[in-house]
Structure 1
Amino acid sequence: VRFGSEGYAVEELVAELAASFLCADLGVAHDQRDNTAGYLVSWHAVLKNDKRAIITAAAKTQAAAEYHSALQPAAGQEA
């Protein structure tokens, strides 16, 4: 997927949402990047052009977050 393309914007939206979900789940502070405004512009364009894009992104985000959560050791166990 090419940088700046709609597909790239969707991938970045999924990555950012997954990072937010995982940080919240793990109790880790999620720092915003300096380029967040630029990403917001590209996400807005995608969401404006495709009313179902947020549903697709949310489904992919859930799958990514669940995958990464499954990699965490169970409570009380060390890696």
Structure 2
Amino acid sequence: LGIVPEMEPRPDHASYLASWLSVLKNDKRFIVQAAAQAQRSVAFLHDLQSESRRDAA
């Protein structure tokens, strides 16, 4: 694949993580809401896959 791991973190990694930490500190429900939205997305995709299998049968 040609992917070479970098041993030194990129400078923007720290700011990226800091931005998420700020969101999580300011909104205690954020992670639960994000997980619920992710679950709805998975259920939607699962339903699409089930419909596709039914149509193929």
The normalised TM-score by structure 2 is: 0.50
Counterpart CA distance in 2 for 1:64 and 1:42 is 24
The alignment's C-alpha RMSD in Å is: 2.6
- 5+ residue gaps in structure 1? 1-36
- Identity in percent: 44
Structure with the bigger percentage of helix: 2
User: Which residue in 2 is equivalent to 1:58?
Assistant: 35
Q: Establish whether residue 41 from structure 1 lines up as the match of residue 21 from structure 2.
A: no
| CA spacing shift, 1:42–1:68, aligned 2, 3 Å | farther
When Rg is computed on C-alpha atoms for both structures, the one with the higher figure is 2
- 5+ residue gaps in structure 2? 1-12
Count how many residue pairs are aligned between Structure 1 and Structure 2.
40
Counterpart CA distance in 1 for 2:18 and 2:38 is 19
Query: Offset of 1:64 from its aligned partner?
Result: 0.8
